[in-house]
Amino acid sequence: MHPPSLQIMDISMPSDGPAAASLDASDTTLTPSPRVRRVRFYLTNEFGLVLLIIIFGAAFTFAVPRFLSHFNLFILGRTAAENIVIGFAMMVVVVTGGLDLSVGAIGVCAAMGGGWLMQVAGLPWPLAVIGGLLLGAALGFVNGWAVVRSGLHSFIITLASMSIFFGVMIFITRAQAFRSIPLSFASFAHIRYFGFISPLLLLAVVIMLALVYLYRLTALGREMLAAGARASAAELSGVRVKRVIILCHMLAGLLAGVAGLMLVARNDAAIPSMAGQLGQDWLLPAFLGPVLGGTLLSGGFVSPLGTLLGSFLLTLLTNGLLLLQIGQFWVEAVLGLLLLVAVLLDQARRSFIARRRMI
As measured in angstroms, the least distance from the Cβ of 151 to another protein is 7
Q: Is 237 a residue that touches another protein (CB under 8 A)?
A: yes
Q: Is 183 a residue that touches another protein (CB under 8 A)?
A: no
Choice between 54 and 340, CB closer to another protein? 340
DSSP 288-310: HHHHHTT--TTSS---HHHHHHH
As measured in angstroms, the least distance from the Cβ of 93 to another protein is 13
Contacts of 303 (CB under 8 A, 6+ apart): 45, 46, 293, 294, 295
Q: Is 353 a residue that touches another protein (CB under 8 A)?
A: no
Cβ–Cβ under 8 Å, residues 259 and 281: no
Sign of the C-alpha dihedral computed for residues 146, 149, 153 and 156 taken in this order: negative
Choice between 150 and 184, CB closer to another protein? 150
Of positions 64, 69, 192, 230, contacts another protein by CB under 8 A: 230
Q: Is 72 a residue that touches another protein (CB under 8 A)?
A: no
As measured in angstroms, the least distance from the Cβ of 354 to another protein is 9
**Site residues (CB under 8 A) for another protein, limited to 77-116:** 99
Q: Is 213 a residue that touches another protein (CB under 8 A)?
A: yes
Site string for another protein, 300-329 (x = CB under 8 A): xx-------------------------x-x
Mapped onto helix, strand or coil, the DSSP state of residue 185 is: helix
As measured in angstroms, the least distance from the Cβ of 114 to another protein is 21
Of positions 51, 120, 121, 333, contacts another protein by CB under 8 A: 333
**Site residues (CB under 8 A) for another protein, limited to 245-304:** 277-278, 280, 283-284, 287, 291, 297-298, 300-301
Of positions 55, 209, 236, 324, contacts another protein by CB under 8 A: 236
Q: Give the span between the Cα atoms of 206 and 308, in whole angstroms.
A: 11
Of positions 120, 168, 206, 209, contacts another protein by CB under 8 A: 168
Cβ–Cβ under 8 Å, residues 96 and 247: no
As measured in angstroms, the least distance from the Cβ of 21 to another protein is 9
**Site residues (CB under 8 A) for another protein, limited to 6-25:** 6-9, 11-12, 14-17, 19-20
Burial 310-342 (b: 16+ CB within 10 A, else e): bbbbbbbbbbbbebeeeeeeebeeebeebbeeb
Burial 201-230 (b: 16+ CB within 10 A, else e): bebbeebbeebbebbeeeeebebbbbbbbe
Q: Is 32 a residue that touches another protein (CB under 8 A)?
A: yes
Compute the radius of gyration of the chain from its Cα atoms.
23
Choice between 103 and 201, CB closer to another protein? 103
As measured in angstroms, the least distance from the Cβ of 153 to another protein is 7
Around 307, how many Cα atoms within 13 Å sit in the side-chain half-sphere?
32
DSSP alpha helix (H) spans, 151-240 = 154-173, 183-186, 199-217, 219-229, 231-236
Choice between 58 and 156, CB closer to another protein? 156
